[in-house]
A and B are shown apart, each in its own frame.
Chain A
Amino acid sequence: MQRIGVFVCWCGSNIAGTVDVHAVAEALKNESGVVFSTDYQYMCSQAGQDIIKNAIAEHKLTGIVVCSCSPRMHEATFRKTAAAAGLNPYMVEIANIREQCSWVHKDMLSGTEKAVILGRAAIAKVHLNAPLIPGQSPVAKRALVIGGGIAGIQTALDIADAGFPVDIVETKPTIGGKMAQLDKTFPTLDCAACILTPKMVDAAQNELIKIYSYSEVSQVSGYVGNFDVTIKRRARFVKEDLCTGCGLCTEKCPQKKVPNEFNLGMDTRRAIYIPFAQAVPKVATIDPDYCTMLKTGKCGICSKVCTAGAIDYTAKDEFITEKYGAIVVATGYNPISMEKFDEFAYSQSKDVITSLEFERLTNAAGPTAGKLLRPSDGEHPHKIVFVQCVGSRCDSCAEKGKEYCSKICCMYTAKHAMLTRDKYPDTEVYVFYIDVRTPGKAFDEFYRRAVEEYGVHYVKGMVGKVVPQGKKLMVQASDLIDGKQLHIDADLVVLAAAIEPDKSARPLATMLTASMDTNDFFTEAHPKLRPVESPTAGVFLSGACQGPKDIPETVSQASAAAAKVIGLLCKDHLTGNPCVASANEMLCSGCSQCANVCPYGAITYSEKEFRMPNRTTLMRRVASVNPAVCQGCGACTVACPSGAMDLNGFKNNQIMAEVDAICRN
């Protein structure tokens, strides 16, 4: 039997004004188990807390009920008070007689009556409370960043800066991501490579950062503070530690006809290659799909020219396993395929290109060495049409494209248009837009400059179709302001393709038990207040994997995610919330209903041996909850028909007791 103390707070006149607090304290004195009951002006004050502490000592209380304001306000305060007096803090229950009683009821009689009932419910619950001790789990002081674009690099640099080791896993042979492919960045027009490559070098040189390029995450288990991750290092057939990045092999390789993915297939590379001059790690990679030696066993030229002896045709995929305390997802984005948009003739004409391809065409390190030339014939285009919102803002019933706004297209299109006019004033530039969206620092000014200073023709309307005709592209479009249909004989058409999360994100989310929205963007723990955390504890989000973002936003989110990771890794132990689910193995049937509803993957099953009558034993499948992963929602407790799954602090019989107490009148 519990020895319960009841403390009724006046909250000045906030409660005492509509609730007869003396009467409440008196009435609750008669409840079973209550050995002490009093009221006081301000229970949360130091003096009020002292009353509680003294009563705990004097009356050997095993549980207390505070009738006061909302538990959301002072539950933590009173739990601390109890703990200070040597009582387990989870033996405290609050009856909310302010927000949910005195403040909403004007009548003293009904207010007092209700306060007594709420007090009774809390007493009934405390009777069934048990002391709870939060679990502790150690924190592995190493972070994993999945994706080596600007988001991943920034996150890794910030974490390493705080003194924690970080590993970056990148699927490509080099880090750098999309930003490495860009020419200039809006709205300042500084060159992307000039600001990105120093960061790549910093990451490579930082002793705390390990880069696993040409690698992918193949398995994740564990939970916050204790993730076990298996990383697959794909065979690159070049020993990373020996290769000096001299590039001789890439010049001598006889296989010259490999589409160069870094330039989006607009030129070719060799079968052994370094993606670009500033690649990190600057190490060659052999493409097994094209290498003659790997395919037929005849060639071996690269091995012959390599003075460092770095080539290894027998290399195999390797798997390494590492422990991490925190995981940051930074898998980024890709432009969507233009296949379904036949009307723009993307697959019919080489001169219809996406904006990312346009970036490569204008980049000094690109296929045309920075000269804007038509991909088809290498001629200088004189009339360029930019089409915005290709595949963005589509209705789901249109069955192609995405429903969301891709966010970055308005600004990079303005940039492309402006740079084109700047470099080639003889070129006429049209931009077809639905809306120009420029919410960002100095964004609208930038767009206005494109129109006012550079004379870009912004046309409110959409392109209906593009038809290749001889060397020209006939563009039929509407000008909604002038009420005209335009027919433009363009030399080049640039499509602002919608962006979508990288394809690797979906299987990764499954491995991490991190949730995604219908577009495969990762979901935040809270859209406003916890934007860089995933609902899965210990998994953080950085960059465009969470939603379309430009570079400054990506970098801020990357640093924010890093701050969250640092906050986690600083701790030696994680103190869990003890109000988590637990399975009673004697009752559990192992039916898996509970695991189906657990949003955190906290429930696992194992075969366990049970003693049976007559000295026999029985192997039976039972559930167990990992208290470090469980967040205490209780979904499993209702999915469980036998009641084997119960939630500490909100047990079935506790809630039932509250129901009974409320209905007992």
Chain B
Amino acid sequence: MTNEQLKQEILRISNVNVTKCMKCGKCTASCPAYDEMEYHPHQFVSMVNNGDIQPLLNSDSIYRCLSCFACMERCPRGVEPAKLVEAVRLMAVRKQGANRMKAEDVPCMLDENTPGQLLVSAFRKYSK
């Protein structure tokens, strides 16, 4: 797919209007996973707008996002960056064999303090 096609696909999945962004950075300022992420919420918006989807697909950032939706909640323009992160993640894991997590991976992560809910959520999120 060309950059433009990738962009259109992301926009279709997310239903986000990236042109509304006024580049204030409040999303990134609100992000609790900032230090974990290579690309930050405002960069997702800008890079999607520029059709730079490939780096996002290849980045671990899409799995570091906590989906806390602080960026969506705080955005003064109603842009909803978290939906873009989600859309890129979906695009990545929908590829054949691209599941981030396999069922076999789960047991080794278990310890008595891990809530079962967390694993279920993660599994749902990181695989198709």
Contacts and interface: CB of A to CB of B under 8 A. Distances in A.
Q: State if A and B touch, Cβ cutoff 8 Å.
A: yes
A478 interface: yes
A398 B24 contact: no
B65 interface: no
A478 B76 contact: no
B28 A393 contact: no
B22 A434 contact: yes
Contact of B20 (A395, A462, A485): A395
B62 interface: no
Interface string A460-489: 111111000000000011101001010000
B26 A478 contact: yes
A485 B28 contact: yes
Contacts of A401: 76
B29 A464 contact: yes
B77 A478 contact: no
Interface in B1-52: 20, 22-31, 34-35, 40, 42
Contacts of A396: 78
A461 to B, nearest CB: 4
B77 A343 contact: no
A478 B74 contact: no
A460 B76 contact: no
Contacts of A465: 29-30, 70, 74
A395 to B, nearest CB: 4
A434 B79 CA distance: 16
A397 B25 CA distance: 18
A398 B77 CA distance: 6
Given A389-B76, A393-B76, A461 B20 contact: no
Contacts of B76: 389, 393-395, 398, 401
A393 B30 contact: no
A488 B79 CA distance: 26
B75 interface: yes
Nearest to A481: B25
A398 B75 CA distance: 7
A460 B30 contact: no
Interface residues of B, number: 22
A462 B77 contact: no
Contact of B26 (A460, A463, A483): A463
A389 B30 contact: no
Q: Which of B25, B27, B79: most chain A CB closer than 10 A?
A: B25
Contacts of B70: 464-465
Contacts of B34: 478, 485
A480 B42 contact: yes
Nearest to A434: B24
A592 B30 CA distance: 54
B35 A462 contact: no
A393 B22 CA distance: 9
Contact of B23 (A394, A397, A434, A463): A434
Contact of B28 (A398, A434, A478): A478
Contacts of A476: 29-30
B28 A464 contact: yes
A312 B76 CA distance: 51
Given A478-B42, A485-B34, A485-B35, A462 B78 contact: no
Given A478-B40, A478-B42, A480-B42, A397 B28 contact: no
Contacts, number: 69
A485 B26 CA distance: 11
Nearest to A460: B25
Contacts of B74: 343, 464-465
Interface string B63-100: 00000001000111111000000000000000000000
Contacts of A434: 22-25
Contact of B25 (A395, A398, A478): A478
A60 B22 CA distance: 70
B29 A463 contact: yes
Given A434-B24, A461-B25, A395 B78 contact: yes
A485 B78 contact: no
Contact of A485 (B22, B29, B77): B29
Given A394-B77, A395-B20, A478-B42, A462 B31 contact: no
Nearest to B34: A485
Given A397-B78, A398-B76, A464 B22 contact: no
A464 B23 contact: no
A265 B114 CA distance: 49
Contacts of A478: 25-26, 28-29, 34, 40, 42
Contacts of A483: 40
A483 B24 CA distance: 13
B40 to A, nearest CB: 7
B77 A395 contact: yes
A393 B75 CA distance: 11
Contacts of B40: 478, 483, 485
Contacts of B77: 393-395, 398
A76 to B, nearest CB: 48
B99 to A, nearest CB: 30
A465 B27 CA distance: 10
A127 to B, nearest CB: 57
Contacts of B28: 461, 464, 478, 480, 485
Nearest to A391: B76
Nearest to A388: B24
Interface in A612-658: none
A432 B31 CA distance: 16
A393 B76 CA distance: 7
A343 B77 CA distance: 16
A485 B31 contact: yes
A461 B27 CA distance: 10
A461 B31 contact: no
Contacts of A462: 24-26, 29
A343 B78 contact: no
Contacts of A393: 22, 76-77
B24 A464 contact: no
A361 B35 CA distance: 37
A398 B78 CA distance: 5
A461 B29 contact: yes
A397 B20 CA distance: 11
Interface string A389-410: 1000111111001000000000
Interface of A: 343, 389, 393-398, 401, 434, 460-465, 476-478, 480, 483, 485
Which 9 A/B pairs are nearest by Cβ-Cβ distance? A464-B29, A464-B30, A462-B26, A397-B78, A478-B29, A434-B24, A478-B25, A461-B25, A478-B28
20 contacts: A343-B74, A393-B77, A394-B76, A395-B20, A395-B77, A398-B75, A398-B76, A461-B28, A462-B26, A463-B29, A464-B31, A464-B70, A464-B74, A465-B29, A465-B30, A476-B29, A477-B29, A478-B28, A480-B28, A485-B29
Given A461-B28, A461-B29, 13 more contacts: A343-B74, A395-B79, A396-B78, A398-B78, A401-B76, A434-B23, A434-B24, A464-B27, A464-B31, A478-B25, A478-B28, A483-B40, A485-B29
